[in-house]
Amino acid sequence: MSTQQQEPDTDAETEPEEPESQEVPADQEMSGLASPQQQRLQRKHDGMAEREREAAEDDLEGDSVHIKVFRYDPEVEGKQEPRFDDFHVPFERGMTVLDAVIYARDEFDSSLTFRHSCRQAICGSDAFFVNGRQRLGCKTQISELDQPVRIEPLPHQEVVKDLVVDMDHFYDQMHAVEPYFQDEDTPDSADLEEQRQSPENREKIKMSSRCIWCGACMSSCNIAAGDNEYLGPAAINKAYKFAMDDRESEEIKEHRLRIVEQEHGVWRCQTQFSCTEVCPKDIPLTEHIQELKREAVKKNLKFW
């Protein structure tokens, strides 16, 4: 629907030109920072992308999808050499990578091993290396991938079996930043007082709280691959969430900054943005790391 404007002293009617479509980041639209027009244009863009995906699915409907799945089992003789097994899975509309490997396991080879749980991109258990990129299996549409779809375990982590990797080191790094709320001024429970957070502060840390501990960012990080002591982007992002929370005291914030500014902390990041690119929850991990660097510098500045 367009609006018409009557020019003074003339019968001519003009219709304002619609500005070029600009894609608005999802986090900006959700936060209400985008204008109504930008939101409308973004919805139009999303609708076009959805129609293109549906057309691709229609082309595949009734066909089979060729997937190549990494196989390795150190406990079974004859399977100790890594290899790829080929499976041809019947395609259905909306099929994800996780759907495909579940079908391959249930219909072709029950020994195929991988992790999965919620199937809603929340638990983070089904992160794979798909066509050369870290992705969540339950979130990645088969119709958007080139065939054959090559599915491997996350790189830079020890493979336990097939697509399952050892996550113990990743969890150790996450716990090293003390990922829990700490406040010396917690009100007495008898007072039933709330620890209130301003809307502005909540908005600041909102994206960092979306981490699902999938390990995709850690797997993509070249620094983490070469430095086993590096905290990694996921752990540093978790530290950011709490360090920037105004409900914690300045003393606790300084304690957190001391953790992340160690030799194998934020200063090891080389700002390659690989972690940000593969994050399935669109967290600006690299930006959070850089902000913690700035906070660490400001903390150590002294003027006499």
- pLDDT, tens digit, for every residue of 230-283? 999 999 999 999 999 998 888 898 999 999 999 999 999 999 999 999 999 999
Lowest pLDDT segment from 14-23, 89-98, 165-174, 235-244: 14-23
| Banded model confidence at residue 189, pLDDT cuts 50, 70, 90 | low
Answer whether residue 26 is part of any domain.
no
| Structural domain that includes position 69 | 59-164
- Cis link prior to 148 (omega < 30° from 0)? yes
What whole-number distance in Å separates Cα of residue 224 and Cα of residue 285? Answer: 14
Closest CA to 298 of 243, 245, 247, 237: 243
Reported as a pLDDT band with limits 50, 70 and 90, residue 190 is low
Model confidence at 52: pLDDT above 60: yes
* Residue 31 pLDDT exceeds 60: no
- Strands 127-130 and 133-136, bridge-based pairing: antiparallel
Give yes or no: residues 215 and 158 share one domain: no
pLDDT bucket at 53, cuts 50 / 70 / 90: low
Number of independent structural domains in the chain: 2
pTM over 0.85: no
Name the pLDDT band for 204 (thresholds 50, 70, 90).
very high
In 58-199, the DSSP E strands lie at 64-71, 83-90, 127-130, 133-136, 149-152, 159-161, 164-165
When pLDDT is averaged across residues 120-136 and rounded to a whole number, the result is: 96
**Backbone Cα Rg of the chain:** 24
Statement to judge: residues 101 and 172 lie in one domain: no
Tell me the backbone φ, ψ of residue 145, rounded to 5 degrees.
-110, 150
The pLDDT of residue 15 is above 60: no
For the chain, what percent of residues have pLDDT higher than 90?
65
- Structure letter (DSSP) for residue 111: T
Q: Where are the alpha helices (DSSP H) in the chain?
A: 26-30, 36-60, 97-107, 168-176, 199-205, 216-220, 222-226, 233-243, 250-260, 274-278, 285-300
Residue 43 has pLDDT above 90, yes or no: no
Classify residue 44: in a domain, yes or no. Answer: no
Q: 20 lies in a domain?
A: no
How high is the pLDDT of residue 30?
44
What is the pLDDT, as a whole number, of residue 280? Answer: 96
CATH of the domain at 85: 3.10.20.30
231 neighbors 260 (Cβ within 8 angstroms): yes
